[in-house]
Amino acid sequence: MEGTTKQFNNKKKNTTKTRTFRTMNDPQNYQYHHQLLQQYSNRNNYGFGFISQINQYQAFYPALLPLPTSPPLHPYLPLPENQIKQKPTIQRVPWKHNNPPLATSSDAQLQDNTAKKVLQKPVGLASRGRDGKRIIGVDQKPLVLAKRPDSGGVEGHAITLLANHFSVNFDASERIFHYDVEITPHPSRGIARIIKKKLVKENSGLFCGAHPVFDGGKTLYSPVKFQNDKLELFISLPIQNQKFKLFRVNIRLVSKLDGKELSSFLKRDGDEYRALPQEYLHALDVILRESSTEKCISSGRSFYSSSMGEAKDIGNGAVALRGFFQSLRPTQQGLAMNVDFSVTAFHESTGVVNYLQKRIDSLHDLLQRKVKCFSDEERKEVEKAMKNIRVFVSHRENVQRYRVFCLTEDVTENLWFHDRDGSNLRLVTYFKDQYDYDIQFKNLPCLQVGRSKPCYLPMELCVVCEGQKFLGKLSDEQTSKILKMSCQRPKERKAIINEVMAGPVGPTSGDQGNEFKLQVSREMTRLKGRILQPPKLKLGSGGQTTNLIPSRRDRQWNLLDGHVFEGTRIDRWALISFGGSYDQRANVPKFINQLSQRCEQLGIFLNKNTIISPQFEPMQVLNNTIVLESKLKKIHSASVNNLQLLICVMERKHKGYADLKRISETSIGVVSQCCLYQNLSKPSSQFLANLALKINAKKGGCTVALFNSLPSQIPRILKHEEPVIFMGADVTHPHPFDDSSPSVAAVVGSVNWPAANKYVSRMRSQTHRQEIIQDLTEMVGEILEDFYQELFKLPKRIIFFRDGVSETQFQKVLQEELQAIRAACHKFPGYKPPITFAVVQKRHHTRLFPDENEHTSSIRSHFSDENIPPGTVVDTVITHPREFDFYLCSHWGVKGTSRPIHYHILWDESQFTSDELQKLVYNLCYTFVRCTKPISLVPPAYYAHLAAYRGRLYLERSDSSASNKGGCTISRTAPPKATPLPKLSENLKNLMFYC
C-alpha cells in the first residue's frame, strides 16, 4: 500500500490544526415599547527521525522528544506504565413619545474628549435589513480606542515589582528587507525551512552573506538587500522513492521596512491617533522566534522542548511537556518581550492499538480481544479520538507521515482496494504477499488516510507521531496533572523564566538578534505598582447590619459570627440521589439536618423537612433523558408544581449533569444544586457554607454588600439618584475538534442599585466560532427592561465588561458591539446613556513578582516566596503606550503564581480617571455571591462566563445523537445554522440560577 501524498522518508512532520427603571419624576408618566494545530505550526522536530539519506541535516536539529525504538511489526505491545418579597408585575405598554423615559444630562452625550474617540463624522446606528440583522454601512469609519486619561493612578501603597517583560532595543534607522518566497511544489513548513537553510548555505553570494529569517510560509526577512530583487533558484533534496526531488524557489522583494513609525508610536509623539505599525512589529517577532522555532516544537506562540524537562505521562494516551511562551508587546517602556513558563499536553508517541487502550476506557483489553469487533459506541469513540491524528507505519523502512481522516466502514478482513495496475486486491492478502505479515486484528477497521484517493492502514502497523498537541478535552485527572506541573510558586516561576532567557533554546539563543541589530535584555522589568485598600463590607446579623474590613493579608473574611447580607427562605425543596453505596445513602438524612443548621447560622432559612422523602436512583438514570425528566417531574408534582429547590447528590461526576440542568431549568422550572457523595460522609463547615451560599445566590439572596456605596466612593461620576448598570458579556466556543456546534453568547446585567450585586442573564446560541455577539441588541434591550422592572428607572450609565476578546479583535468588537448596545438603548426614545466598554483579559502571560531586594527585612519576610497581595495594580511601564489599560490582581494566589487580570478600556464616555475605574473594579470584586473573598475577575464578566457555560450545557445533550454514526465524516463548506437554546423557564429568568 502506498499513500496518496509524497513525503520525505527520513522525516516525520508534526501538524495539528490548531480557539424597574424609574423615571426622573412620576414613573406612571413614562411607558415604553416591548421590543426587543492553529495550524499547529508545521514545526518539524528535526531530531525525531532522520535517517541516513539526509544525515547532513541532523546537526541542525537536536532531538526534542525521544522516538520509540525502531518499531517492530507489532508496535502495539503495551508500554510500562431571608425571604425575597414578590415584586408586583408591571404592565408593559408603549412609551408615550412625548414623554421620553430619561432625559439625560448634557454630559451623557459628550464623547470622551480625552480619548478623541469620535472622528469628524459620528458613527451612526447600523441599519437593519428585512431579516432584522444589523447591516454595517460601508461609509462607517473605525472607532478610535480610548486614550489613557492621565499618567496613571496614584492611590494606594507603593510596591516595587518585577514583571516578566524584557526590554527590546532596535535601531529605528536600520532597514529590514521583506521578500516573498514561493516554493514549487508546495512543501510543508518543516521542509521549507530545510530548503531555505540549504539555499542560504550554498548561495551566500546571492544573499550578500546575510542570514535571513523565514517564517516557514511565504515570508523572508533580511538585514541586507540581496543582489537582485528577483531570484529564481533550484534545489534538490532526498525523498522517499527517488534519489532527489527538485524544488523551484522564487524570491521577490516586496518592501523595505524601517522602525521609525514604531519608534514614534512607542515614544507617544504627538496627540493624534496612530495605528500600531504591525508589519514592522511582525518582522521583529519572526526574527526573535527563528532560533527557538528551529530547536523546539512550536504551538501558537509557545515553544516546547525536552531541554526544559522530560515529558511526563498524564494518562489516557497523553504526555505533558514544559516550554515557554514568547510575544513582543508595545509598552510604555518601549518594545518588550513577554516570556512565560508554559505546560501543555501532547499525544503520546506509541502504537495506535496501545494508544487506544490508554485513550478509551472500554478498550483497555484490546490486545486480548483480537477476534472481537468494535461496538457502535466504541467505533464512534475511536474515530473521534483518531481523527486528524498523524501516524507513521512500521511495515516499511521509510518513515512517511499520514493524517487520519476516518475509519473504514468495513473491518480489515473484508477490505479490498484497487492496485495501480487496476486489479482488485484483498488487503489481508496484500500484506501477506508484499510484506510477509499476517494481520492480527482482522476484525478491526483500518485507519483511512486521504479523501479523494483513500489509503487503508491497519491499526496494528501504525504509530502515533510525536510532537502533536492534544487538542481534545482533557479529563479531570489529566487536567490535575497538567496544573500540578505548571503550578509554580513565584520564586520558582521567576527562576524558570530567567533560565529560558539565558538557555540554549530561548529567544536569545541564536545570532538573529545581532544580524538585525536587536538587543534583548535578560533582566526582568522593574516597576512600581500600588496596593489598593480593601473596601469596608456590610453583612447581616439577625435582621441588623454589621460591617467589617477584610484585614487578613489574603483579604478573606468568615461568616462565623455573622449572616449573609440578604438571606432567602426555602420552604419546599427535595433531594434526589444518583448512585452511591448503602453506607453513603445512609448519610443523607444527617446531611439534610447539617445543611439546614448551617443555613440557619448564615441567616438562610432551609426547611428541615423535604416535601417528599429523599429519592434514590441508580447512576444509569442519568444516561436516559426521558427517564430522568420523568423522575424530576414526579418530584415537582409532589410539591403541587411549586418546588423551590432540588438538591442532587451524585456518586461521581457524570455527563448527565448537563441533561439534569437543562431539564430542571427549562422543562420544569426549578433551581438545582448538585454535590458529590464523597463530601457527604464528613461534611466540613466550609463545604456546607459554600453549598449554602450557592443556594442562597440562586434563590435571589446575596452574601455581602459594600458598606460605603459606589456613589459615595466615586462621587464625581456616580450618583445615588442616577442608577448605573454593570453588564458583562462572554462567548463560549465548542472544543477544537468540533466543527459544527454553535457558539453560545451570554450577557448579564445588575438590576439593583446602588448595591449592584444581583444580576439577570440572557443567553443565545450563534454561528459556530463566531466571536461577535450576534443578538447583543436584543439581549441588552431585554436586560434594560428587567432593570426598569426593578428600579422604575433606566440606568444613567452603562458600564460594559466584555470577556474573551483578543487584542487583534478589539477594533471589530468595539465597532460592532458598541453599536449594538446603542441600538438597544435607542429602542427607548430619547435614551442615550454614556457607555464605558472594557475588555477583560484572563488568558495573557504577564506575571508580577515582588522584588525582594527593594523591601525592608520585615516586608521581605512577608512576601518571601509569596504572591503579590490582593489589590495590586499596575498601569505604567508594561502597559500600552497610549491606550487606557491596567493590570489588577484582586485576589490572593493560594497556589502557583497569581495571574493579574488585564483590563483594557476601549471606550469611555463617562470619562473615568485611572484611580476611579481601578477602585470601582476592585470593589466590585468583593461582591461575588459564591464566596467570602475577593475574586480574580470583575463579577459581571465572571457571571457572563458562568451563564455562557450553562448555555453550553443545554446543547451538550445532543452530542450523542448528532455525532457521526459510522463511516467518514462529511466535510462542511459552511457551519450549519445554530441550534437555538431551549427556552428558560419564566420563573428562573430573574434569578442567578447559573451560579
* DSSP secondary structure of 226-287: -SSSEEEEEEEE--SSSS-EEEEEEEEEEEEE-SHHHHHHHHT-SSS-----HHHHHHHHHH
Task: Look at residue 270 and tell me whether its pLDDT is greater than 70.
Answer: no
What's the order of all strands across the beta sheet hosting 213-214? Answer: 213-214, 219-222, 176-184, 245-257, 230-237
List the one residue out of 163, 199, 165 whose CA is nearest residue 181.
199
User: Residue 617: is its pLDDT beyond 90?
Assistant: yes
Q: Is the pLDDT of residue 157 over 80?
A: yes
Residue with cell 495573557: 844
- Alpha carbon dihedral 421, 424, 428, 430, in 10-degree steps, equals -20
Mean pLDDT of 333-348: 97
Does the pLDDT at position 967 exceed 70? Answer: no
Q: How many CA atoms lie within 13 A of 788 on its CB side?
A: 26
DSSP 414: G
pLDDT digits (tens, 9 = 90+) for 164-203: 999 999 999 999 999 999 999 998 888 899 999 999 999 9
Say yes or no to pLDDT of 880 above 60.
yes
In tens, the pLDDT along 400-441 reads: 788 999 999 999 999 999 887 778 899 999 999 999 999 999
Strand partners, 488: none
The per-residue b/e assignment along 306-335, b for 16 or more CB within 10 angstroms, e otherwise, is: bbbeebbebebbbbbbbbbbbbbbbbbbbb
**DSSP letter for each residue of 757-785:** --EEEEEEEESTT--S-TTHHHHHHHHHH
Beta-carbon contacts of residue 788 (< 8 Å; ≥ 6 apart) = 20, 21, 22, 32, 90, 101, 794
DSSP state, residue 95 = P
Read off the pLDDT band of 364 (50, 70, 90): confident
The residue type at 803: D
CA distance 932 to 202: 67
Nearest-angstrom CA–CA distance, 835 and 799? 6
- Whether 746 and 690 have beta carbons less than 8 Å apart is answered as no
Cell of 640: 403541587
Cα separation of 893 and 385, whole Å?
36
Residues ≥6 apart with Cβ < 8 Å to 682? none
Residue-level pLDDT at 65: 33
CB contact at 8 A, 494 and 849: yes
CA atoms of 638 and 612, how far apart (whole Å): 7
Among 328-332, 415-419, 738-742, the range of highest mean pLDDT: 328-332
H-helix or E-strand spanning residue 943: helix 939-956
Residue type present at position 632: L
pLDDT given for residue 863 in this prediction: 55
Q: Is 314 in a helix, a strand, or coil?
A: strand
Element (H, E) at 481: helix 476-486
Q: Are 325 and 340 in contact (CB under 8 A)?
A: yes
Check whether the bond before 754 is cis (ω within 30° of 0). Answer: yes
- Asked whether 249 and 183 are in contact (CB, 8 A), the reply is yes
The predicted model gives 492-502 an average pLDDT of 96
Q: What are residue 255's DSSP bridge partners?
A: 178
pLDDT digits (tens, 9 = 90+) for 716-732: 999 999 999 999 999 99
State residue 260's pLDDT score: 93
Q: Which residues, in sequence order, are bridge partners of residue 22?
A: none
From first CA to last CA, the distance across the chain in angstroms is: 56
Angle (CA) 912-913-918 rounded to 5° is 90
- Going by pLDDT thresholds of 50, 70 and 90, the confidence category of residue 932 is very high
- Specify the residue for cell string 462567548: 731
Q: Give the tens place of pLDDT for each residue, 82-139.
A: 343 344 443 443 443 333 343 333 333 333 333 333 333 333 444 444 344 444 443 4
Closest to 825 measured CA to CA, from 803, 790, 798: 798
Say how far apart CA 710 and CA 921 lie, in whole Å. Answer: 10
User: Residue 969, Cβ neighbours under 10 Å: how many?
Assistant: 14
Distance, CA of 326 to CA of 48 (rounded, Å)? 24
pLDDT score of 913: 98
E strands present in 171-210? 176-184
776 and 817 in contact (C-beta within 8 Å)?
A: yes
Write down the pTM of the prediction.
0.84
Helix (H, G, I), strand (E, B) or coil at 740: coil
pLDDT given for residue 104 in this prediction = 35
Residues in the chain: 995
Give 312's strand partners.
320
pLDDT, greater one: 166 or 964: 166
- Asked if 93 and 30 touch (Cβ cutoff 8 Å), the reply is no
pLDDT band of residue 682 (cuts 50, 70, 90) is confident
Q: What does the alpha-carbon distance between residue 343 and residue 321 come to, in Å, rounded to a whole number?
A: 6
Cell of 607: 426547611
